[in-house]
Amino acid sequence: MEPSDCTANGVSSVEPTPLSKADIERYSRQLLVPEIGVTGQQRIRDARVLIVGAGGLGCPVALYLAGAGIGTIGIVDYDTVSLDNLHRQIAHPESNAGQSKVESFKRTIKSLNSNINVLTFETTLSSRNSPDIFSQFDIVADCSDNAATRYLVNDACVLLEKVLVSGSGLRWEGQLSVYNYQNGPCYRCLFPIPPNAQLMTNCAESGVVGPIVGLIGSMQALEIIKIAAGLNSSFASKMWMLDGLTGQTRTISLRKRDPSCAVCGENPTVKELIDYEAFCGSSAHDKIEPVHILDAADRIETKDYATCREDREGGQIARDAVLIDTRPPHEFAIAHLPEAISVNSKIGCFYMGIS
Amino acid sequence: MDTSSSEVTNIEVRVLFFGKARELAECEETKVMLPSQIQYSALKQLLFQKFFADLESIAQSCIIAVDQSYVQMEELLHLTPSTEIAIIPPLSGG
Ligand SMILES: [Zn+2]
């Protein structure tokens, strides 16, 4: 299949207008790359890319796409800039803390390249708003941080025939793949059953090292630039895996499109967008979910325990009691009460959270 | 070559864990004895129920790759001493 003939491959088939003199100067170091050249740069200029999530992955994607001259960049995120995310969200200056992430992103993109048309969608991506948003773009970058959004983005890309350049990261690991592209699989072909919500770990709970999402996001930007320029992505039916702790990378050959896939198969059961929070049993954000806890009579709130420690009578009770802290040792090391004993148990029948 | 008629022996292969699987297995990799010819479904059962029962809760949402290739239902796998089996759950973070 010739990529330039097919809009489903993320490339417009309309005859492009010539590059301006300013563009030729500005993008000269990219134009000199033979596989890109003038035609590639024209296609890059005319490309419309949607970035879902203005977080750790979205930042490098947006920075490199803005630099490369992707003509229209859309960004969807409901959240505000938070200082405890800036170790990895390097497109947001700390002076923007508390402000809308999409507006912060827009200012950063514009400061890098004022020619870029930036479309912002300050909203939680949903089944209701996705069709309108996605239809304005050719290529979608999944830079989201939760399972429900990943299934939503996948299904929307299949139903609206968009190429999906998907990245994810947690702790020291990252994954990259291009879905719904050149008869390759979609996300559901590989992961038809969403992960058990109780076992899901996100960056808010498990942490992530900044350059991991930096590397994965940069790879997403690279694949988007290739696809936009009319070149082939290297990750159709392949998953690139990064293990930053051991310095190893792997490329896994994936299956082709699954004929029995619920959304991209021959007899799809998902013909329109569904309720993805219900499907995944988890919310479309990466905030920490409430846990199942003991009855009020069988537990004590941290603030009550703190009060109890301070008064004389209760203090004696607290001194006589044994305080077991079941959090992992590295969390215990961040902060703990002096009398607490660290007992890291996988059973975790008690959970003394200290905030 | 008709490999289906060749003798099935037990061999030691590497098993690599990623993401949540690494967290549950509490190691990055290990070695297990497996038959040199095995159906995907039997392999999955051995891995998630016998060798690494701690991973059973994520069995349904993992990809299994043998020698860096995705394997699927009803596939007959030929394992060698240099085979590496990767257990890959999806990562959702960003
Ligand atoms: Zn599919």
Q: Enumerate the domain spans of chain A.
A: 47-280, 296-342
CA distance B68 to chain A (A): 5
Number of other residues whose CB lies within 10 A of the CB of residue A125? 24
Contact A75, A106 (CB under 8 A): yes
Contacts B91 to A, Cβ<8 Å: 168-170, 173-175
Contacts B94 to A, Cβ<8 Å: 53, 55-58, 143-145, 167-169, 203, 213
Is residue B9 one of the residues assigned to a domain?
A: no
Which domain, by its residues, includes B24?
17-88
Q: What is the CATH number of the domain that holds B64?
A: 3.10.20.30
Alpha-carbon distance of A39 to A64, in angstroms, equals: 19
| Interchain CB distance below 8 Å, B70 and A252 | yes
State which amino acid sits at residue A233. Answer: S
Is residue B53 one of the residues assigned to a domain?
A: yes
Q: pTM of the full predicted structure?
A: 0.86
| Interchain CB distance below 8 Å, A246 and B28 | yes
Is residue B94 one of the residues assigned to a domain?
A: no
Confidence of residue A171 (pLDDT cuts 50, 70, 90): very high
Mean pLDDT of chain B: 91
Contacts B72 to A, Cβ<8 Å: 255
Contact A188, A155 (CB under 8 A): yes
> Residues whose CB is under 5 A from ligand 1 (ion)?
A 186, 188-189, 261, 264
Give tens-digit pLDDT for A294-350. 888 888 887 888 777 777 666 777 777 788 888 888 888 888 888 888 887 544 333
Give tens-digit pLDDT for B54-93. 999 999 999 999 999 999 878 899 999 999 999 999 999 9
Contacts A147 to B, Cβ<8 Å: 90, 92
| Interchain CB distance below 8 Å, B68 and A147 | no
Number of other residues whose CB lies within 10 A of the CB of residue A329? 9
Bridge-based pairing state of the strands A163-170 and A139-142: parallel
Its ipTM equals 0.90
The pairs formed by B71-76 with CB atoms below 8 angstroms and a separation of 24 or more are: B71/B40, B71/B43, B72/A255, B72/B40, B73/B40, B73/B41, B74/B39, B74/B40, B74/B41, B75/B39, B75/B40, B76/B4, B76/B37, B76/B38, B76/B39, B76/B40
Nearest in space to B13 (alpha carbons), one of B90, B81, B94, B89: B81
Alpha-carbon distance of A120 to A190, in angstroms, equals: 31
Highest mean pLDDT among A16-20, A48-52, A196-200, A319-323: A48-52
Is residue B52 one of the residues assigned to a domain?
A: yes
Is residue B7 one of the residues assigned to a domain?
A: no
| 3-state secondary structure string across A137-148 | CCEEEECCCCHH
Is residue B42 one of the residues assigned to a domain?
A: yes
Is residue B6 one of the residues assigned to a domain?
A: no
Domain boundaries A47-280, corresponding CATH code:
3.40.50.720
| Interchain CB distance below 8 Å, A168 and B91 | yes
CA distance A158 to chain B (A): 19
Is residue B50 one of the residues assigned to a domain?
A: yes
| Interchain CB distance below 8 Å, B90 and A195 | yes
Name the domain count of chain B. Answer: 1
CB-nearest to B94 from A143, A200, A254 is: A143
